[in-house]
Amino acid sequence: MDALNWSQNKEKREREALERHKELSRMFREDRFAFERERKRLIEEVINSTDDPCQRKRLRELQDKWNRRMKGAGSRHNRFVLAQTFFWEHVREVWQPALQEAHQSLDRWKD
């Protein structure tokens, strides 16, 4: 999608996303079972949208790991704290080393 179409469709995408969020929020409050079923369906839709079987397998493994870790949270607050912890753990263990490696590569190239 080119930049012009991306900008023109932004308002429509935002409207659709807000409407989808509103529906999921209502579902979460009124029928947790239906919410969980829809959440799982949306996750499967994203995972199945990739053509690469290796990437699909990796996405499934990541989702399974996330589900296992969040299962014992116990409360909303604990889920939030766990999500933050997982995020910063990923930054420290994956993003930071990758950025350092890229920086070192650029430094070698500069010389």
pTM of the model: 0.68
- Whether residue 81 is predicted with pLDDT greater than 70 in this model: the reply is yes
Residue 29's pLDDT band, with cuts at 50, 70 and 90, is: very high
Please, which residues have CB within 8 angstroms of residue 73's CB and are 6 or more apart in sequence?
Answer: 79, 82
What pLDDT sits at residue 16? 93
